[in-house]
């Protein structure tokens, strides 16, 4: 006689997302809890070692650590999308290389990044001239601008806080972000703004900025959630923040 109680396996599946988040990031997980309504998707998170300061050297090391971080995601899960959640890291490592490293160590139907997602969102909205606000130093910011321009997007102006220390990036005030984006639109004519960096706390200012400036305002985390939803068939079910999400409802 079998001493164990019989059971069945649940085959019902909701979309499953994987996030590879920088060890120093204090913002992205809260943003995803806000953007993705509870029970809409299953979310598995792993962390990747990252330096207290964001420099080309610490980003290059993340390319070496990415396979191990991806391998820590549940082996039996079949992910609709996995994201490497670093905008500047993607620009320096390369989106194709990121995809290769993740798919070699986890089962994913699709791989995305904040940079990939932002470019997709910009083209989805038909934007041509996009200004970029970021916390980065020049050597980290420049490859993001180059990645935009490589896809035919004009970047008439950028503005950076010049901050290397990630703990300070996560604490840059919403008012400072609003002032920077406003200043950028005074320096150049743009039809959209991108707020770059997953650790920058942007969700709380996007709607106010769009109302003030009259152009779409995109952010790394907002675009990433939108793109993962789009890849998995969840588009239109996210919590609306900004024009890119409101247009998909």
Please report, for the chain, the start and end positions of each structural domain, with discontinuous segments joined by +. Answer: 16-113+223-236, 116-221
> Looking at the predicted structure, is the pLDDT value of residue 160 above 80?
yes
Q: What are phi and psi of 39, to 5 degrees?
A: 75, 0
Select from 20, 23, 61 the least CA-distant residue to 170.
23
9-23, 138-152, 213-227, range with the lowest pLDDT: 9-23
Split at pLDDT 50, 70, 90, the class of 58 is confident
The mean pLDDT of the chain is 93
Split at pLDDT 50, 70, 90, the class of 30 is very high
C-alpha–C-alpha distance, residues 146 and 151, integer Å: 9
Whole-number pLDDT of residue 12: 64
Share of the chain above pLDDT 90, in %: 79
Radius of gyration for the chain, computed over Cα atoms and rounded to the nearest angstrom:
18
> Looking at the predicted structure, is the pLDDT value of residue 89 above 70?
yes
Q: Is the CATH number 3.40.50.12500 carried by domain 16-113+223-236?
A: yes
Convert 151-190 to b/e letters by CB count within 10 Å (16 or more is b): eebebebbbbbebbebeebbebebeebbebbeebbeeeeb
Angle in degrees, 0-180, between the axes of helices 220-232 and 28-35, rounded to the nearest 10? 50
Report pLDDT digits (tens) over 110-145.
999 999 999 999 999 999 999 999 999 999 899 999
C-alpha–C-alpha distance, residues 21 and 7, integer Å: 35
Q: Could you say which of 3.40.50.1860, 3.30.70.20, 3.40.50.300, 3.40.640.10 is the CATH number of the domain covering 116-221?
A: 3.40.50.1860
């Amino acid at each position: 006689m079998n001493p164990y109680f019989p059971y069945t396996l649940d085959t019902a599946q909701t979309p499953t997302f994987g996030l590879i988040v920088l060890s120093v990031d204090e913002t992205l997980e809260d943003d995803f809890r806000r953007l993705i309504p509870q029970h809409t998707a299953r979310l598995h998170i792993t962390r990747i070692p990252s330096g207290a300061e964001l420099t080309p050297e610490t980003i290059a090391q993340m390319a070496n650590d990415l396979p191990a971080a991806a391998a820590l995601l549940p082996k039996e899960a079949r992910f609709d999308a996995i994201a490497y959640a670093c905008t500047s890291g993607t620009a320096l490592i390369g989106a194709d290389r990121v995809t290769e490293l993740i798919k070699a160590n986890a089962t994913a139907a699709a791989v995305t990044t904040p940079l990939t997602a932002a470019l997709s969102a910009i083209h989805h909205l038909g934007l041509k001239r996009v200004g970029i606000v970021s916390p980065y130093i020049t050597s980290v910011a420049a490859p993001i601008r180059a990645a935009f321009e490589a896809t035919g997007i004009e970047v008439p102006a950028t503005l950076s806080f010049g901050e290397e220390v990630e703990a300070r990036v996560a604490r840059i005030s919403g008012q400072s972000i609003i002032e920077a984006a406003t200043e950028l639109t005074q320096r150049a004519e743009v039809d959209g703004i991108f707020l770059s960096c997953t650790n920058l706390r942007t969700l709380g200012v996007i709607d106010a900025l769009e109302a003030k400036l009259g152009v779409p305002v995109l952010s790394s985390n907002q675009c990433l959630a939108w793109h993962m939803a789009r890849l998995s068939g969840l588009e239109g079910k996210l919590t609306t923040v900004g024009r890119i999400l409101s247009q998909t409802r």
